[in-house]
Each structure stands twice: as structure tokens, then as C-alpha cells.
Amino acid sequence: MRGETLLLRELRQSDYPMLVRLRNDLATQGWSRTLPPDFTLGMYHKRFDDRPYEFSRDWAIFVIETLDRGTPIGFCSYTDHQDRFEATIGIVVEKERWGTGASFEASDLLLRFLFHELGLRVVRLWTQSGNTRAVGSAEKLGFRVAARLENAIFKEGEYRDNLMMDLLREEWYELHPDLENGLVDPFR
């Protein structure tokens, strides 16, 4: 999936060290339940190299790469995929790229794939109230808070709310008038 400045591509073994670095960085990880960070290269080899081949589309991970230099700067994924209905997305981008629009562009490319190619009805994401960049980017993409679990996360010495945000297919297509929503909603 190619955007203006970024490419979402398949995960390669050479990307595993970046995954370990980003997953073990307290700044790029918003969830206190993953602490202390203890991801290893061996864990990623086991997770991705030792899995049996299958045709399932339940989840996928994509590396975010710059078009100009071919530099990996993060990754995004979808999980909990239910065919033609829903999926949950996640994104992690290097701190040096925060505030540059990279997260927004990568997320929009992933949403284009999920809505326009896979035909999903709704896409969800989880973040926390203290992550104002993530909340702002998600809102700019069209997401809205659908559920709030108050004081569910303890990070940097304070309690924060766990936010589930969602975006409906119709809402995404309204933001992308250049694309035609080719699916008819049987419930409308």
C-alpha cells in the first residue's frame, strides 16, 4: 500500500530488531500492562517464523517504510478481524517521527485497505486518554470515542482512561469522496 510519503509492506526478518526496540521503548508503548518491557528477538522469530502457513486473514502486521529512503519507521497492524464486519488496528511509530504526519498517513493507508479492499463495516482502536497525539490523530481520521474505561491505566504516575474508538465505513467514505463505497449496507 503506497501513500504520498510512506509505504506499508510485508514484515521481513530484518525488521525484527526494530519491532523489539519499539516494543521495549516506554515512550512508544502506552499500556502499563506490558511493563516491564521484555520483548526479545527470539520471541519475534518464534511468533512469525515458526507459525504454520494459513489462509486466514484474522490479523496482519505491516512495516511502515519511507518512500524516499526505504527506511522502516514503525509498524501497524489489524487484529480481531471478522470477515466483512470489523477489525481492531494498532500503530507504533518511532519517536523521531511523532508530529510529522507519518502516523496519520500510515493509519489512513491501513484504513483504505480495510474498508476499500476487505469491505469492513467498522474499525476500532484502543488508546489511552494521556496519549493526546494518538487521540488527536484518530479524531482527524474520523474516529470517535465509543467506550471509556475510567482510571484503567496507570502510566507516568497517574491514572488514565482506556479509550476504545471506532470508525464506521460510511464515515470513512464521507472523508474520502474520491472513492466509491461499492458495498450496499443491508441494514439501511
| 46-84 per-residue burial string, b: 16 or more CB within 10 A, e: under 16 | eeeeeeeeeeeeeebbbbbbeeeeeebbbbbbbeebeee
pLDDT tens digit at each of 188 positions of the chain:
999 999 999 999 999 999 999 988 878 876 655 567 788 899 888 888 877 777 777 889 999 999 999 999 999 999 998 888 999 999 999 999 999 999 999 999 999 999 999 999 999 999 999 889 999 999 999 999 999 999 988 877 889 999 999 999 999 999 999 988 887 665 55
Retrieve residue 171's grid coordinates.
464515515
State the pLDDT at residue 153. 84
Q: What is the pLDDT of residue 37?
A: 75
pLDDT at position 66 is: 97
Residues in the chain: 188
Orientation of helix 102-112 relative to helix 132-141, angle to 10°: 40
Distance CA 179, CA 85 (A): 19
Sheet holding 144-155, edge to edge: 6-10, 60-66, 72-82, 86-93, 122-128, 158-168, 144-155
Tell me which amino acid residue 28 is: T
pLDDT at residue 186, as a whole number? 58
pLDDT at 27: 80
Q: Which CATH class is domain 6-174?
A: alpha beta
pLDDT at 30: 65
- Show Cβ contacts of residue 104 under 8 Å, excluding neighbours closer than 6 positions: 137, 140, 141
Spatial CA neighbour of 147 closest among 133, 128, 130, 170? 128
